Structure 1
Amino acid sequence: MQPLLQTLSQSVPFTDDLRQTVHTFLTVNGCPVTANHCIDVGAEARRVALRFEADPDKAEIAGWLHDISAVFPNRDRLAAARELGVEILPEEAQFPMIIHQKLSKVMAREIFHVHDAEILDSVGCHTTLRAGSTRMDQVLFVADKIAWDQPGTPPYIEELRAALEISLTHGAFAYIAYLWRQRDSLKVVHPWLREAYEELKGIERL
């Protein structure tokens, strides 16, 4: 394990209970709110997976792991990405918060020894989605937006829930469309989000 990740892990008692270990990892590293959010997203991902015939165990694990990179403050994320060999896009350099999805993917593999591609890939695009997204990608993407980590009710939630009555992909696109409508006010438009929008924008006509 790379020294950067070793430092984050040294005070964590790793057990066979991944849910508890992830919660402890985040709490020990000063992120108790994110720890609870990850558990909530795991539970929501399981529900979404069961509803749309995805693997509920994998979905729950992806939910637990999706925000483990919160242990890196925004100001440190680019340096962490460089040290861990993560490709940094110009938009991520401009707005480092958004690279957390890629950092979480690396940490899930290196710290928690998760090697399932479905899990890792969904963690790696849970904020932006991506073109060619898999069912698992969409499950985690939607679950994270339902069990969001801000106070109050998500402003898009009714639109998202209505879209889920049609399909999982409609639900995922509902949130992408919500962001796209306000793209001029976003700090950046990540190219993966743009590509996902372009790929899925015709879905409303189906």
Structure 2
Amino acid sequence: MKVGEEAKQIAEMFGAEPLEAEHAGYLHDISAVFPNEQRVTISQQLGLEVLPEEEVFPMIIHQKLSKEMARSLFNISNPAILNAVGCHTTLRKDASLLDMVLFVADKIAWDQPGTPPYLQEIRQELEKSVEHACYSYIRYLWQKRESLRVIHPWLKEAYYELEARLHADEGIIHVKRNT
């Protein structure tokens, strides 16, 4: 629920549709009902593409499972919501505004004990733009990539795309905060 509330607030800051963001936030982790060790098999049974990185680290395929569950169990047909749910953990290249809003909300609304080590920086970068906030978190992971089990190819593509865009524009912000 916290991710839905956070997504709605971020959507309002940047001009995304607040109800779409809220709904995407509520649906983003619905596949958590499946244990990690069952996620690959269930994904294959549903005909979802399973990448090698997802086989190695099945937790990250939950984004695809949640998207499918939102579509098939909750009759969500809005592609913006479905796509945001489907990439909320890794982001992706050519991410929409709603994709980025949910991605950042998921990282801010931490559901583990303690405070996430990246929280202060991601909040500071959110003052600039949602793209900066996305890049901040992905850069945090990128700097730790040698210690991670896998680097999802979508995350890698998002990293390079955001890095190129934010550095090439030399401070021009694409998705400006509403003031």
Q: Give the TM-score range, shorter chain.
A: over 0.9
How many residue pairs were aligned?
A: 168
Whether 2:127 is the aligned partner of 1:127: answer no
> Which residue identity lines up with residue 144 of structure 2 in the other structure?
Q
2:34 & 2:40 partners in 1: Cα distance? 10
TM-score of the aligned structures, taking structure 2 as reference length: 0.92
1:44 & 1:200 partners in 2: Cα distance? 22
1:95 & 1:152 partners in 2: Cα distance? 23
1:148 & 1:101 partners in 2: Cα distance? 16
Q: Partner of 1:47 in structure 2? A: 9
How far 1:148 moved relative to its partner?
1.1
Q: Unaligned 5+ residue runs, structure 1?
A: 1-38
> Which residue identity lines up with residue 141 of structure 2 in the other structure?
L
Aligned match for 1:59, one of 7, 18, 21: 21
Q: Partner of 1:82 in structure 2? A: 44
Larger-Rg structure: 1
> Which residue identity lines up with residue 90 of structure 1 in the other structure?
P
Question: Which deviations, in whole Å up to 9, do the C-alpha atoms of 1:62-120 show, x marking residues without a partner?
Answer: 00000000000001001110111110001001111110000000000000000100000
Q: Unaligned 5+ residue runs, structure 2?
A: 172-179
TM-score of the aligned structures, taking structure 1 as reference length: 0.80
- Aligned identity (percent) is 58
1:73 & 1:45 partners in 2: Cα distance? 25
Q: Note the 1:138-157 alignment, pairs <5 A.
A: 138-157=100-119
Q: Note the 1:191-202 alignment, pairs <5 A.
A: 191-202=153-164
1:176 & 1:137 partners in 2: Cα distance? 14
Q: Note the 1:177-196 alignment, pairs <5 A.
A: 177-196=139-158
Whether 2:69 is the aligned partner of 1:107: answer yes
Which 4+ residue blocks in structure 1 deviate beyond 2 angstroms?
none
